[in-house]
Amino acid sequence: MQNIILIGFMGCGKSTLGKKLAFKLDFEFIDSDQEIEKIEGKTITEIFEQHGEAYFRNLEKQYLEKIQHKQNMVLATGGGLPCFNKNIEFLNHFGITIYLKLSPTELTKRILHSKAQRPLIKSNNEEEVYLLVKKMLFERETFYHEAKHILNGKQQKVKFVQELLSE
Ligand code: S3P
């Protein structure tokens, strides 16, 4: 009985890998942002615009409390979730945490392609986005590095998790 928890900055590929893993492992896949959108009946952008970031962080915390008894699931968290309200401690008790680590350059490229649904990234200017990503990543990596495992861009991620679970 296990849970796999994918954490990391916006654009690092948590949801894409999460879906693949859940399929291979026959686990349930949960994306915290999508679940919060369903509960609130609003998009993440609308939640940020109408209620602000502190309100959203509280929703993330409440959502973790709601799923705390679940098992055999792959959870892809929102990029900021592990960095607020001691959530990383909760996640480390809840399952095997994996940080998907990418460089600010790589993250910037990916974020620029999918900026629309990311309220924290307001600029379209690549240089500005890069500087923001670098700054936020610097602030957040203390939390991300508390994950049990760190996977970088080039590693065979599905294989890694399968081997981890068969140990
Ligand atoms: C956020 C990341 C987003 C979403 C929200 C805030 C963040 O999730 O939760 O826009 O603070 O990094 P993704 O990492 O899935 O983009």
* Torsion, CA 90, CA 55, CA 28, CA 11, rounded to 10: -90
Q: Is the CB of 31 under 6 A from ligand 1?
A: no
160, two tokens: 């890694």
Tens of pLDDT, residues 44-83:
999 999 999 999 999 999 999 999 999 999 999 999 999 9
* Predicted local distance difference test score (pLDDT) of residue 14: 96
- Residue 31's DSSP bridge partners are 76
Q: What is the pLDDT of residue 46?
A: 95
In the block, tokens 């095997």 appear at: 96
Helical residues (DSSP H) of 10-125, grouped into ranges: 14-25, 32-40, 44-51, 53-66, 87-94, 104-113
Torsion angles phi and psi, residue 138, rounded to 5 = -60, -45
Q: Please write the tens of the pLDDT for every residue from 78-124.
A: 999 999 999 999 999 999 999 999 999 999 999 988 766 788 887 77
> Is the C-beta atom of 119 inside 6 A of ligand 1?
yes
Pocket of ligand 1 contains residue 7 by CB under 6 Å:
no
Ligand 1 neighbour 79 (Cβ under 6 A): yes
166 pLDDT exceeds 80? yes
Percent of the chain whose predicted confidence (pLDDT) is above 90: 83
Atom of ligand 1 nearest to the CA of 119: 10
Q: Over 60: is that where the pLDDT of 1 sits? A: no
Angle at Cα 81 formed by Cα 24 and Cα 154, nearest 5°? 45
The alpha carbon of 77 and the centre of ligand 1 are apart by a number of angstroms equal to 8
Cβ-based neighbours of 37, under 8 Å, separated by 6 or more: 43, 44, 47
